[in-house]
Amino acid sequence: MKDLKLCIMGFGAVGQGLAKVVSLKRESIKQDYGVNLKIVSVADSSTSAICEDGLDEDKLINIKEETGKVGNYPEYGSNISGLDVLDACDFDVLMEATPTNIKDAEPARSLTLKAFDMGKDVVTSNKGHLALDFKELMDSAKKNNVLFKFEASVGGTMPIINLAQETLPANDIKSIVGILNGTTNYILSRMTSEGTSYENTLKESQQLGIAETDPTQDVMGIDAACKTVILANALLGIPATYDDVKVKGISEITSEAISLAGKEGYLIKLIAEISPNNLEVSPRLVRKGSVYDINGTLNMANLKTDLSGDVTVMGIGAGSVETAAAMLTDLIHVIREKY
């Protein structure tokens, strides 16, 4: 039985979700692949827990919830942080779940490049380093002969990248048009069904934990624009960065505009378009009853292909366990290919 040693960098909602799904699926992965998943190191922003023999997932989550720091893990807690964690314990795969940073892509960029240079495979849920430095990351992974998987960075549990690369490889993808942000879709859906204002609906979604305390990345279209860049590079081969995307958020959408659209048979949705001629995130009118007529925090994408016509995929666009499930799927791809 091969032990596959995991290093989890970032232990917020997604990192904790990852610990949960590893615990839940360990036995089935043992049975299916002959591999025993072992979390040997976990780090938050300033502390870590490191043990070559493996850490207890439930204990990790409880300590983080109770104390705010994984460094308080009994016996194996430490103040080692950042890049030093990668040197502190031997591991096979870096599970990178630090917060997205669209300004300089740190710490995800440095962690990923260091892991590549160490000959380690990387699975990430992060968008910042992919949106800013996609080519550099891909070139480094290729140079070091390692795998780099990032399904969780686009659409949470919606399987768009793996769908395109694994299920539709015979097709050329001509364009992708979709709803790539669950928070804004929830806000617009509620404004449509309840007739409420943008400001009140945003407050409600924050109280429910759907929108962040600082919702800027979501409501201004930044999150969807990052995902637009990732899909442009990964699926259409467009060498784009964040600055190439035209971005407009939803903060100026009024309940009156939504009502007027509804009377004409339309909805207003935050739509991302990825095509050779246009990289754009903006509010658009979509027909009621079309594939874009989805509610809540769902994400969807319509892929226009040369051989298979239109292929539409939909899934939950956010959530701790849901995003972690996409990371675990990527990890299983690594296991299948290398172990």
Beta bridge partners of residue 108, listed in sequence order = none
Q: Rounded to whole angstroms, what are the CA distances from 36 to 29, 31, 74, 116?
A: 7, 9, 23, 22
Which listed residue (103, 227, 246, 269) is catalytic?
227
232 and 137 share one domain: no
For the stretch 270-287, pLDDT in tens is: 999 999 999 999 999 999
For the stretch 127-146, pLDDT in tens is: 999 999 999 999 999 999 99
60 and 7 share one domain: yes
Q: Are 164 and 308 in contact (CB under 8 A)?
A: no
CATH code for position 334: 3.40.50.720
Range of the domain at 304: 164-316
307 burial type by CB count under 10 A (0-12 exposed, 13-18 middle, 19+ buried): exposed
Report DSSP letters for 239-264, one per residue: ---GGGSEE--STT--HHHHHHHHHT
136 and 233 share one domain: no
Amino acid occupying residue 339: Y
Amino acid occupying residue 12: G
184 and 53 share one domain: no
For the stretch 14-29, pLDDT in tens is: 999 999 999 999 999 9
89 and 172 share one domain: no
Provide the number of structural domains found in the chain: 2
210 and 294 share one domain: yes
For the stretch 156-206, pLDDT in tens is: 888 899 999 999 999 999 999 999 999 999 999 999 999 999 999 999 999
174 and 272 share one domain: yes
118 and 74 share one domain: yes
Three-class SS of residue 326? helix
- With a CB cutoff of 8 Å and minimum separation 6, the contacts of 207 are none
201 and 119 share one domain: no
Pairing label, strands 93-96, 2-9: parallel
Count Cβ atoms below 10 Å from residue 336 Cβ, excluding itself.
11
Amino acid occupying residue 237: G
| Residue 264 binned pLDDT confidence (cut-offs 50, 70, 90) | very high
Q: What's the CA gap between 111 and 153, in Å, rounded?
A: 16
Count Cβ atoms below 10 Å from residue 72 Cβ, excluding itself.
13
CATH code for position 302: 3.30.360.10
Q: What's the CA gap between 193 and 210, in Å, rounded?
A: 17
Q: Catalytic: 69?
A: no
| Residue 318 binned pLDDT confidence (cut-offs 50, 70, 90) | confident
